[in-house]
Structures are given as C-alpha cells and as structure tokens.
Amino acid sequence: MMLERVRIRCGATIAIAALALYSMARVDAADAPTSIDGRSIGELKRTTVIHLGKTADWVSITPDAVWVGSTHPFAVHRIDPKTMSRIATVRLPGEPCAGLAVGFGSLWVPLCGAARVLAKVDLTSNQLISVFKTGPAGAEGGIATSPDSVWLVTDKHGSLARIDPGTGAVRQITHVAEGSYNPLYADGQIWITRADGAEVTSVDASTGTVLGTVPTGPGPRFLTAGAGAIWTLNQGDGSVTRIDTHTREVTRTTALKIPGKGGDISFGAGMIWATVWKVPLSLVDGATGALLCQWKGPGGDSLGIGHGAIWLTDYHAGTISRIDLADALGHCKG
C-alpha cells in the first residue's frame, strides 16, 4: 500500500525522541534474537471506533482522508481524520480483496467476484468513476502506483501489468516469479513479494525491466517502505525482513512470531508497525530493526499510519479504530 510520510503532533515528537534514545542503547544487540513480553492492546486508548461492515480490511492514507474497505457492504469508506467520522461510503460491484492504492487523483481498488476487475474512485467527488476489466490474481494480493502507471499482478504465473491510469489499458506485462502477488513502489522500483516462495523481485519502474531478486523469510506478502528500505512481513514464520532499496541487500530479519495468513505492515514515525489477527500491533525500530513492543488481544489485520495516528482494523468486527501515535510510543517507552 502507498502511505504518506506524516506530520506528528508535538506530543508524538517528544515520545519519538525518547524512544529513539531507548533504541540507540540496543543497536549493539540488534542482530541478537529478541524476546519481549506481550502487552495488552487494551492499554492503548482508542479515540474513535467506526463500524463499517461485516468485515473491515485494507487501509490507505491520503493528505486529507483515511480510506478503508469492507464487505457487506462491498465498499470503500472515507474517514475525515479531523472529525474522526465517516463522510462517504462508495459502493463497489465486488469485494475489495487485494489492497488499496492512491494515485492520479484516484483510489484504486482491485475487486474479486464473478469477474475480477479494477475499480477507480475519484478522491474529490467520492464517486466510482470507472471499472476496468484488468483484475487481481486473487485475494490478499496488492496494487501500487508509480509516477506514470498503476501496477497489478493479474495471475498466479506472475504477470505484472503496467496499467494506464487514464484508460485502464495494459501498457506492458513484466513476468516475475510464479506466486508473486503484492507490488509496492519505492525509490524508482516496483518491489513484488513472492508469497509462494521466499523472495522479493525488483522491477525498474521506468522500463519495466526486472533488476533482480532478494531473499526474504518464508512466505513474504505484505510490504512497506521507509528509512531507506523495503520491509516485508513474512507469513511463513511471522518475521520481518529489511532490504536496502539502493543495494538491494538484506540487512536484517527480525522475528515477530506472528505467522499465518492475513496481516499488514506500515511505516510511520520512523517505525515499522505490523498487525495480524489477535496480535494487533507490533512495533519495530526503523533504524535498528529491533522489536520494541508487541500488543496482544482482540482485533487487528490491517492498518495505516497517518494524521498523527494508527488506524487499525478489527477484521472480524468490521471496525476501524484510531490510536494516537504518541499514546502507543509513550506506552512502549514506559
């Protein structure tokens, strides 16, 4: 998913600075196995909880909104981060099943159903304006936007489609390893995780040329970018792998012990935030790769970081909650 680099309110800045000092003391031990006590997610204050549908999944942040997908209804919902209220619901002709991406004044939503298609939602009018026939390979995939294109894997054989954002036409097909589903744009490259293997493929976003592959933990699927790196959440063993975007080399793999299907990972406030069902929040230091805190309990499965907050879904309850970044960072420091 593409997320903005957010501005953090003063309280969060103080907490981040204090946490950075805490993290510096751990740099020498960064490569050692990490063991921390699980905390209760209940200690974090939720400043709002919004019910969206039977399930709530996929979060994307824009400069003035938080977008979330749901089933029953099949829709994406726009939340105003200032009022912390839902201001629009856009009904869709299928289930939003493979991520959300922002670009070209639109929200891009891959849909599953009788036909797999790609929905385009206008960010100004909050209206569904186009449905293109090019659809996702399946559920739990992803979508990305680069400066000139939309990128989507369209089959299990690793066909990465480069899509014209105006017409929906496929401009180019780049073939990556079978079982690769989730693309992300960062530093001029499209990075695609191979959930059916243990690697990431790098593609030049200008030419569509494959630049190489990088090994990860088993079953990498969701990924984020930040602090000069790509971070993959590996479903096979519940670890996170850090890949330097310039050298395309692995610099660290951190054990979070959250294996299994689903989940999400995002970058914000210099930190990596991961979520899975029943372990709704894990916090990894963006500088050292060390696991700092982990909160357990009900909820989790997707999240976004923006507008001074963590926006965390409870997939099965169909809700999204807002948690102040300063609150989570402060509890972790404490």
CA–CA separation, 301 and 260 (whole Å): 11
**Which pLDDT does position 34 carry in this prediction?**
52
**Which pLDDT does position 334 carry in this prediction?**
72
CA–CA separation, 87 and 79 (whole Å): 6
**Which pLDDT does position 230 carry in this prediction?**
98
Residues 6+ apart with CB under 8 A from 23: 285, 287, 288, 290, 292
**Which pLDDT does position 23 carry in this prediction?**
39
Task: Name all domains of the chain by residue range, CATH numbers in brackets.
Answer: 43-333 (2.130.10.10)
**Which pLDDT does position 10 carry in this prediction?**
40
**Which pLDDT does position 141 carry in this prediction?**
97
Spatial strand order in the sheet of 85-91: 55-62, 65-71, 75-80, 85-91
Mean per-residue pLDDT pooled into runs of 10, the chain (334 residues): 36 42 36 68 98 98 98 98 98 98 98 96 98 96 98 98 98 98 98 98 98 98 98 98 97 97 97 98 97 97 98 98 98 88
**Which pLDDT does position 31 carry in this prediction?**
44
Pair 252, 268: CB distance under 8 Å: no
